Amino acid sequence: MGDGRAGVGPVGMVAQESRTWSVFHSLPWLVGWVSLTVMGPWVAAKIIYQTCNLVLSWIFQKDEVLRGKVVFVTGASSGLGEALAHSLYKRGARLILAARNIEKLNEIKETLLKTYRPPEVHLPIVVKLDLEDLNSIDGIVQDLLNTVGHIDILINNAGISYRGTVDQTDISVDIKLMVVNYFGQVALTKAVLPSMKARKEGTIIAVSSIQGKLAIPFRSCYAASKHALQAFFDTLRAEVYDDNIKVSVISPGYIATNLSVNAVTSDGSNYGVMDPTTSSGTEPDKVAEQILNCLITGEEEILLCPFAHRLAVYLRNLMPSVIFSILKRRARKQNETMKKNK
């Protein structure tokens, strides 16, 4: 005879195990449902706020926000930096264009002067800047401040990419990526920052990458440098808030530039290949326009990438094991491809 408790016996045990497995099996969906329930209204409110802010700013401010502003752009000799130079100059900004290739910068300067008739004409200043030479950065900035008086907007755009495996990458390559993509940006920002704090005004833009949010295989030191960049500017944003200095981090996905062609490999040599993902990326001028919108609206962080990439970033925080499994399969597939090509 039974003892009066429900679910006792083989049938009851099977039913209980079935219910337990059902709950366990549906746990990821439960987490997703709870996340959407909790975060859904917040995300919707944020989207509405950003949309209204963008529309109102576009109606009442438009390009006047940038007219006459002193804008310092690094990595301005090609790609996104060159596109930013065009977008900013035609709106009347006073440009400081910096890169290692001074000849290319002068060509861009001449093109700007011949192509546009901005509301305010300012002769762009070109500066030779090598972010690997950390000791030279402070002197270059001080010379610029003596010339132009102040810098309204700093756009940290320069950087290099990388392709290789962790175990075969020489430590000198890791150091190079961190110096150019992180320490150089930090040194430049610190050189500009005191003058902005003294004026209680300024904007600092850090062009990071979606890989600063989500690391992928064969990009270890590049992703690490962008993660560091994200953390530094997130901290800076909070610290300079009371000084009326705005800090924004832009995290693009793939942009159709020569970034992969100019990337370094595990031994420090040039990669020299245009990746399909890079060649099919967003056009630089479109990304430049979105960055300018960020300057107008004052958004503190923007992900400029397809929905699938955004979703991956969110899942990395909500359900990391799912993303880890996807990345493992991706790495295995890429490894097999590389072995076949040898």
Tokens 């909500």 label which residue? 318
**Which are the catalytic amino acids?**
222
**Cβ–Cβ contacts within 10 Å for residue 174, how many?**
19
CA proximity to 261, closest of 271, 251, 247: 271
Counting Cβ atoms within 10 Å, is residue 110 exposed (0-12), middle (13-18) or buried (19+)? Answer: exposed
Encode pLDDT of 231-255 as tens digits: 999 999 999 999 999 999 999 999 9
Encode pLDDT of 204-227 as tens digits: 999 999 999 999 999 999 999 999
Give yes or no for a contact between 291 and 86, defined as CB atoms under 8 angstroms apart. no
pLDDT of residue 294: 92
pLDDT of residue 60: 45
Q: Percent of the chain, pLDDT > 70?
A: 80
Question: Of residues 292 and 44, which shows the higher confidence score?
Answer: 292
In CATH terms, the fold of domain 64-305 is Rossmann fold (3.40.50)
SS3 per residue for 215-276: CCCCCHHHHHHHHHHHHHHHHHHHHCHHHCEEEEEEEECCECCCCCCCCECCCCCECCCCCH
**pLDDT range class, residue 317, cuts 50, 70, 90:** confident
CA proximity to 179, closest of 118, 246, 131: 131
**70 has pLDDT over 50:** yes
Q: Percent of the chain, pLDDT > 90?
A: 64
Apex CA 265: angle with CA 178 and CA 82, to 5°? 65
Cα(132)–Cα(216) distance, integer angstroms: 25
Across the beta sheet with 70-74, what order do the strands follow?
Answer: 125-128, 94-99, 70-74, 153-156, 202-207, 245-252, 301-304
